[in-house]
A and B are shown apart, each in its own frame.
Chain A
Amino acid sequence: MNKDVVVVAEHFRGQLNEITFELLGKGREVAQGLGGKLIVFLLGEGAHRFTGELGAADRVWVAEAPEFREFVSEAYASWIGPKLKEAAPRLVLLGSTSVGLDLLGLLSTRCGFPCLDTCVRLEAKNGAVIATSQVYGGKVFAEVLLPEETTLVAAVPGSFAPEAGRVSGNPEVHALTVPPGQPASRVAFRKLIEPPPGDVDITRVSVLVGVGRGMQNAENLSLAQDLSAALGGAVCASRPVIDQGWLPLTRQVGKSGMKVKPKLYLAFGISGAPEHLEGMKQSETIIAVNTDPGAPIFSVAHYGAVVDALDLLPLLIEEIHNLSMKKAS
Chain B
Amino acid sequence: MKIAVVLKQVPDLVEGLEIDVSGKAVDPGTVRYILSESDDHALEEALLIKERVGGQVEVYSVDTGDAKETLITALAKGADHAILVNAELESSPDNHTAAQVFAPIFRERPFDLLLMGVRAIDDLDGSLGGLIAGLLDLPYVGLIRKVQVGAEPRSVVVEKEFPGGYAMELAAILPAVLGIQAAEQPPRYVPITRLRQMMKTAVVEELLVPTPHPHPLVVERLFKPEEGAGAAMLSGSPDQLSRQIADLIVERHLLR
* Chain A interface (Cβ < 8 Å from any Cβ of B): 12-13, 70-74, 97-98, 101-110, 114-118, 130, 133, 135-147, 152, 154, 185-196, 198, 206-207, 230-232, 243, 249-250, 252, 255-259, 263-264, 266, 279, 285, 287-288, 293-294, 296, 298-308, 311-312, 315-316, 318-320, 323-324, 327
Contact = CB atoms under 8 A, between A and B. Distances in A.
B207 interface: no
Majority SS at the chain B contact face: mixed
A188 B168 contact: no
B131 A327 contact: no
A306 B131 contact: no
B163 A256 contact: yes
Interface residues of B, number: 86
A140 B142 contact: no
Given A106-B133, A144-B220, A187-B170, A73 B96 contact: no
Nearest to A104: B126
Interface in B97-141: 99, 118-119, 121-135, 137, 139-141
Interface string B242-256: 111110111010111
Chain A at the B interface: SS class? mixed
B13 interface: yes
A70 to B, nearest CB: 7
A299 B125 contact: no
B139 A258 contact: no
A133 B94 CA distance: 14
B13 A104 contact: no
A319 B242 contact: yes
A102 B141 contact: yes
Nearest to A242: B165
A105 B126 contact: yes
B207 to A, nearest CB: 21
Given A114-B217, A195-B164, A301-B231, A141 B225 contact: yes
B21 interface: no
A155 to B, nearest CB: 13
A114 B126 CA distance: 10
B169 to A, nearest CB: 4
Interface string B2-36: 00000000010100010100000010000000000
Contacts of B189: none
B172 A102 contact: no
B193 to A, nearest CB: 27
B255 A302 contact: no
B134 A187 contact: no
A12 B162 contact: yes
Contact of A106 (B134, B167, B186, B243): B134
Contacts of A135: 121-124
B142 to A, nearest CB: 5
Contact of B219 (A144, A192, A296): A144
A243 B218 contact: no
Contacts of B133: 105-106, 109
Q: Which 6 A-B pairs have the closest CB atoms?
A: A105-B130, A109-B134, A195-B165, A304-B231, A315-B242, A301-B231
B219 A294 contact: no
A136 B17 contact: yes
Contact of A115 (B126, B231, B243): B126
Given A72-B170, A136-B13, A186-B172, A110 B157 contact: no
Given A98-B161, A117-B125, A136-B122, A319 B221 contact: no
Contact of B220 (A145, A187, A252, A315): A145
Interface in B222-256: 222-225, 227-235, 238-239, 241-246, 248-250, 252, 254-256
